[in-house]
Structure 1
Amino acid sequence: MVIDKVGYEHLIQFLTEQLDLFTTQGPADASGKSIGALLEEHIAEQIITLCTQHQELEMNHRALIIREIDGIMYDFQEILASVLDNTATPQQVELINEIALLIKNLFDNAIAELFD
Structure 2
Amino acid sequence: MVTDTDGYIHLVQYLTEHLGIFENSQQQATAEDTVMELFEAQLAAQILLVCGQNPSLTFAQRNLIIREVDSIVYDLEEIFASVSTDKATPEQTMFITEFSGLIKNLFDQEIAKLHLA
Q: C-alpha distance in 1, partners of 2:74/2:29?
A: 25
Q: Which residue of 2 aligns with 1:43?
A: 43
Shift of 1:32: 1.4
User: How do residues 6-85 of structure 1 correspond to structure 2 at under 5 angstroms?
Assistant: 6-25=6-25, 26-29=27-30, 31-85=31-85
- Mark the runs of 5 or more structure 1 residues left unpaired by the alignment: none
Write out the 4+ residue segments of structure 1 that deviate beyond 6 Å after TM superposition: none
> TM-score by structure 1 length?
0.96
What is residue 91 of structure 1 aligned with on the other side? 91
Report the identity percentage.
46
Question: How far 1:51 sits from its partner (Å)?
Answer: 0.3
In the alignment, residue 27 of structure 1 is paired with which amino acid?
A: Q
**How many positions carry a matched residue from both structures?**
115
Secondary structure of the structure 2 residue equivalent to 1:87: coil
Distance in 2 (CA, whole Å) between partners of 1:8 and 1:24 is 27
- Superposed CA RMSD: 0.9
Q: Partner of 1:64: helix, strand, or coil?
A: helix
Matched residue type, 2:44 = A
